[in-house]
Amino acid sequence: MAYRSSVHESTGYSPSMLMFGREIELPVDLLYGQPPQISDNITHQYLAKLIPNLWRIHNIAREKMAAASNRQKQQYDHKIYAHQYKVGDVVWVYNPSKAKGKSPKLQCKWTGPYLIIAVFTDLIYKIQKSEFSREIIIHHDRMKPFIGSFDNWLLKSNNKSSVSIFETADESLYTEEPEKENADYVKMPRRSNRHSKPPDRFSS
């Protein structure tokens, strides 16, 4: 009841007014009664004004919600930090999860460093902590640039793959196919030395 009768900051009206076109009856109304009415024909007047009143309130609420949305966006963008990342950049990642047995005040919320291995959009990235670790898709707001030395295994893996391609191509030019030895030899199956015991129902 307290929430339904409270005026919302964005809409400027209470949920009861937006839903029913009037305020709900509070306990104080039950204790002291309704205020004296001016006219006995108040019911018909209320029904005649209900629908226009609802339309007017809803229009005003929509305008106030749009203004509140713009104001909240400006407040959010005022402190936002935008940074364009690319493949190969090293970043920290914000991890709000709480470790068991550790005080949240003493726990470090930033983990890493992570390496960006793919860029989907300006806000969505794929990162990886090491060459054999799990890949993670993460939002831009949870990352910040890493400053320091980092062993970029992505560049090493690319160099190794390119070198291995040239090495295999060179070896294929000079290596000859070895002759097959003992081609007529056929390996016979070995008889097992394990002693099998028949079931009890076959022993009688």
How confident is the model over 14-24, as pLDDT tens digits?
A: 777 777 776 77
Confidence of residue 56 (pLDDT cuts 50, 70, 90): confident
Whether 95 and 73 map to the same domain: the answer is no
User: How many independent structural domains does the chain possess?
Assistant: 2
| pLDDT value of residue 156 | 66
Whichever domain contains 135, its CATH number is 2.30.30
Does the residue 143 lie in any domain?
Answer: yes
How many angstroms separate the CA atoms of 92 and 108, rounded? 12
- Rg (C-alpha) for the chain, rounded Å, is 38
Looking at the chain, the whole-number percentage of residues with pLDDT higher than 70 is 68
Task: Count CA within 13 A, CB hemisphere, residue 139.
Answer: 5
> Which structural domain range is residue 32 located in?
15-78
Structure tokens at 106: 């003493």
Whether 124 and 70 map to the same domain: the answer is no
Looking at the chain, the whole-number percentage of residues with pLDDT higher than 90 is 13
Q: What is the mean pLDDT of the chain?
A: 74
How many angstroms separate the CA atoms of 66 and 11, rounded? 9
The answer to whether 18 and 11 have CB atoms below 8 angstroms apart is yes
Q: Lowest mean pLDDT: which of 25-39, 65-79, 87-101?
A: 25-39
**pLDDT (tens digit per residue) in 61-75:** 888 888 999 998 888
Does the residue 84 lie in any domain?
Answer: no
Confidence of residue 93 (pLDDT cuts 50, 70, 90): very high
Whether 129 and 101 map to the same domain: the answer is yes
How many angstroms separate the CA atoms of 89 and 149, rounded? 12
Decide if pLDDT at 80 tops 90: no
Q: Lowest mean pLDDT: which of 1-5, 48-52, 121-125, 170-174?
A: 170-174
* 3-state DSSP assignment of residue 172: helix
Does the residue 122 lie in any domain?
Answer: yes
| pLDDT value of residue 127 | 93
**Which of the listed residues 57, 78, 99 is the one where a domain comes to its end?**
78
From residue 161, give the alpha-carbon distance in Å to each of 127, 166, 189. Answer: 20, 9, 42
Decide if pLDDT at 85 tops 80: yes
Does the residue 3 lie in any domain?
Answer: no
**pLDDT (tens digit per residue) in 133-188:** 899 999 998 999 988 887 777 776 555 544 444 344 444 444 444 444 444 545 55
Q: Which pTM does this prediction carry?
A: 0.44
